[in-house]
Amino acid sequence: MEQKKDYKSYLLKTAKQMILIHDTTLLSKLVIRTLTRNIGIKHAGLFIYDKIKKEYIINVSRGKKGLKIPVGFTKITANNSIIQFFLNKDIKQEDKDFLLVSNIKNLKEKYKDNDKVQNLLNELEEETSMYKAQLVVPGFYRKELNIVFFIGNKIDGTTFNNEDMDFLMVLSSDIVMAIQNAKLFDDIKQQLDVNKQLLLNTVETLATAIDIKNSYTHGHTERVMKYSMSLLKYIPQDLTKDYEEFENSLRFSALLHDIGKIGIPESILNKAGHLLPEETKLIEKHPTLGADILEPIKEFKNISLGVKYHHERYDGSGYPCGLSGTDIPLIATIISVADAYDAMTSDRPYRKGLSKEDAVKEIVANKNKQFSPIVVDAFLKAISNKEL
């Protein structure tokens, strides 16, 4: 006697998992795994409609022994007989809620007076045979056929019963909603990527404006950004909560670390000689001024930390707040080293830049004084690997 399967439990468990997955490929794998491992089906596949390509793309096809889809058949067009069967208006709805391949002969008899349906069913026999499908289940979203689920034989050799059909149709409906959810997240991600690129373009434009204002440091912001990204490669990732987010914030913050200098008179920024005490105080306001400029933009919250604190010193003698040690945000300590290295190796009207070797010695000499020991260690690794 066939053991009764707890389909309700499968549905509940799978539905909960599907809600959390925002990748259609992973989603497909979850569903196929559920069917092949838990329901006992030899193989199954899932065609998902791609609106841009206007094709149905197969995401997964597998089983314990696997099913190899012939080359050239990893996608099908809307004209394919499998798709057309579920969209055909001449076929009654009760005959196309699902397609049991063994029932095609009965359908041929039922629609024997309709030549177009007969031709479609003949093509359908060949197509389903190619995929070794015994059962095909559609998935609609707002009257659009979004997925086609094809399923092979049961491992135990039994035929599909009404309980199987009901389960698979409900599962198909759940898959459609989960895929729509995944596509929505994908659309949002794509839009964020576009916005991120626009943001980067804006930041780079601002960085260029800073360089133009300060004629003696042309290219400084771009170099500090590149040096900062090189240093990050050698910073332990467990020091960042979200590495990818931190990486993006560091890139923007390094480009904008001197944005506060926009508010400093050019006569001071471009002064060839040493600055007077009051001029130095004014220059030292640029980190705070930069953070104030970025403050209204909530997306720049983490970015502004690097802008505001990149002149703090590890021993607490820096500005504007006199922070020390680990109280200084990591993003600022990275920019601090990158900024100092570029400043030391760049020519100024009042002095020639240091050699690379001498600049490295200065950085090492100021470990635990001006610079974070973790960042100095990362700096030395980057130098050793010739990334700076």
pLDDT in tens, 317-375: 999 999 999 999 999 999 999 999 999 998 776 678 899 999 999 999 999 999 999 99
Nearest by Cα to 131 from 219, 58, 239: 58
147: which strand partners?
A: 48, 139
CA 32 – CA 214 distance, rounded (Å): 60
Of residues 374 and 206, more confidently modeled:
374
The first and second tokens of residue 350, run together, are 């009042």
At 113 the pLDDT is: 93
For residue 303, give Cα distances in angstroms to 16, 30, 199, 369: 36, 38, 12, 24
| Mean per-residue pLDDT over the chain, rounded | 84
pLDDT in tens, 126-168: 988 888 888 998 988 878 898 888 888 888 888 888 888 888 8
136: which strand partners?
A: 99, 150
pLDDT in tens, 273-291: 788 888 888 889 999 988 8
- Burial class of residue 151 (count of CB atoms within 10 Å of its CB; 0-12, 13-18, 19+): buried
CA 261 – CA 67 distance, rounded (Å): 64
- Burial class of residue 273 (count of CB atoms within 10 Å of its CB; 0-12, 13-18, 19+): exposed
**Residue 84 is inside which H or E element, if any?**
helix 81-87
Residue 54 scores a pLDDT above 80: yes
- Average pLDDT of span 304-323: 96
Residue type (1 letter), 278: E
Per-residue confidence band for 195, with pLDDT thresholds at 50, 70 and 90: low
- Average pLDDT of span 227-237: 95
Sign of the alpha-carbon dihedral angle for 143, 147, 152, 153: negative
At 72 the pLDDT is: 44
At 326 the pLDDT is: 95
pLDDT in tens, 87-111: 999 999 999 989 999 999 999 999 9
At 2 the pLDDT is: 46
Residue identified by tokens 């040690």 is: 325
CA 275 – CA 273 distance, rounded (Å): 6
DSSP 238: G
CA 185 – CA 191 distance, rounded (Å): 10
CA 130 – CA 88 distance, rounded (Å): 21
CA 314 – CA 366 distance, rounded (Å): 9
- Average pLDDT of span 173-197: 71
At 188 the pLDDT is: 58
CA 27 – CA 17 distance, rounded (Å): 9
Percent of the residues in the chain that have a pLDDT greater than 90, as a whole number: 39
- Average pLDDT of span 74-80: 85
- CATH of region 214-384: 1.10.3210.10
At 313 the pLDDT is: 97
Residue 71 scores a pLDDT above 50: no
Residue identified by tokens 């689920």 is: 149
3-state secondary structure of 110: helix
Rg of the chain on CA atoms, in Å: 32
Q: Residue ranges of the domains in the chain?
A: 7-185, 214-384
- The CATH superfamily assigned to 7-185 is GAF domain (3.30.450.40)
Contacts (Cβ under 8 Å, ≥6 apart) of 213:
261, 262, 266, 269
For residue 119, give Cα distances in angstroms to 19, 55, 80, 86, 356: 40, 22, 12, 15, 78
At 37 the pLDDT is: 74
CA 287 – CA 289 distance, rounded (Å): 5
